[in-house]
Amino acid sequence: MTRQTPEELASAIKEEARRLGFELVGISSVADPLHEASFADWLRQGYAGEMAYLTRTEEARRHPGSWLPWARSVVSVAMNYYTPFPRETAPRGTPRGWISRYAWGDDYHTVLERRLDSLLTWIRGEVGGIVQGRVYVDTGPVLERGFSGRAGIGWIGKNTHLISPKQGSWFFLGELFLSLSLPRDRSIKDRCGSCDLCLKACPTTAFIGPRRLDARRCISYLTIELKGSIPVELRPLMGDHVFGCDVCQDVCPYNAKAKPSKEPAFHARDGLHAPELIPLLSLTDEEFRARFKGSAIRRPKRRGFLRNVAVALGNLGSVESIPALVRALSDPDPLIRGHAAWALGRIGTEDAFAALAEANRHEQDPDAKAEIEQALMGEEAEAIVDSPSDGDPEGRDESRHP
């Protein structure tokens, strides 16, 4: 059936999108997305770190009309992923880490893409003629916050999130580019006001200012996107985070009354809410892939994830984790060996230092060896502090866990 007017069609598309589980829907044009020039400047400043794919696709992200010449409208959608498990409800005792809320359930790319594909099929059926369409959920060169902001789904907040006045920011975004001309929605005004809770709360001081994040310092980047070694000076600031970070959203007043997601795919899988860390450190590659099948956690691969686990264990400082960290000193991957060495140095018991000294005798990889030697320097510092000639019995090495 063909709809009478573009207005009727737009409203029917929104209704169908809501039926498919998207709480927020808005329509905008294919013109360059909001703030594309500041995106370019952000790249120039090097804030993207190793995310070379952003630089490679800069032009496409800034000017979508240049590579989607047939597109006339963009339908932006948002799906709530909030599941209420406050940190305080995690069982105590054995060391546990924190996985970002967005990764507790199934991989969102797949969930949203399938729904948007269904929306496109529905639109084709509804219009009856040829409709070109393309779906993106963080799967193409699209500045999603820029489009969703223009479509009135929310405003770009100081923490760089798209924030909806009613829903807060615990939602994923997706876009459907269409060859149909549809009436556009209005963008909404910024409502952050003078609030700067998010900017102050960031554990690694990753915000250079409002709406400007130095990804190289962001825990999300460090635990998910960064392939190699985590800068030593940032490790102690990462706390128990092993995958992503939610701090700048947790403190946002617009998230205070967040409603739980109705989407079963985003409900927490067993063991992903505040997981026990020690067993994670011994996962083989096969076990890692099986355990996180269909989950966003597979992105950093075993080596990145176990690297993060080692850092969190070092920060938690529990002696219970020493045997697992000592075993990790013989991991086949030097990145994991190096970060386990850092964690043992930070825990800093006699056993930990003895294991480090032993590992130092046979370590061949230059980076892992440098980590071990650096960790052993903590022991020397302790010896100086303990020495009676030092005269400062209260003296402590600030870089070590209490």
Q: Which positions from 157 through 176 interact with ligand B12, judged by CB under 6 A?
A: 159-162, 169, 171-173
Of 22, 42, 82, 266, the one binding ligand B12 by CB under 6 A: 42
* Under rule CB under 6 A, residue 106 binds ligand B12: no
d(CA 284, CA 233) in angstroms, rounded, equals 29
Identity of the residue, 22 or 39, whose beta carbon is nearer to ligand B12 in the bound complex = 39
Question: Is residue 390 among the annotated active site residues?
Answer: no
Structure tokens at 31: 């013109």
* Under rule CB under 6 A, residue 34 binds ligand B12: yes
Interface size with ligand B12, residues (CB under 6 A): 39
> Quick one: angle between helices 334-347 and 366-386, nearest 10?
10
Identity of the residue, 248 or 313, whose beta carbon is nearer to ligand B12 in the bound complex = 248
Find out whether 337 and 330 touch, Cβ atoms under 8 Å. Answer: yes
What is the nearest approach in angstroms of ligand B12 to the Cβ of residue 285?
Answer: 24
Find out whether 123 and 13 touch, Cβ atoms under 8 Å. Answer: yes
What is the nearest approach in angstroms of ligand B12 to the Cβ of residue 34?
Answer: 5
Of 102, 266, 342, 353, the one binding ligand B12 by CB under 6 A: 102
Binding mask 184-223 for ligand B12 (x = CB under 6 A): ---------------------------xxx-x--x-xx--
What is the nearest approach in angstroms of ligand B12 to the Cβ of residue 172?
Answer: 4
Other C-beta atoms closer than 10 Å to the C-beta of 218 total 25
Give the active site residue among 41, 107, 117, 138. Answer: 138
For residue 109, which of 215, 266, 258, 271 has the smallest C-alpha distance?
266
d(CA 72, CA 62) in angstroms, rounded, equals 16
Q: What separation, in Å, do the N-terminal and C-terminal C-alpha atoms of the chain show?
A: 70
Beta-carbon contacts of 286 under 8 Å, excluding residues fewer than 6 positions away, are none
Find out whether 187 and 150 touch, Cβ atoms under 8 Å. Answer: yes
What is the nearest approach in angstroms of ligand B12 to the Cβ of residue 271?
Answer: 18
What is the nearest approach in angstroms of ligand B12 to the Cβ of residue 146?
Answer: 3
Strand-pairing partners, residue 99, are: 243
* Under rule CB under 6 A, residue 296 binds ligand B12: no
Catalytic residues: 138
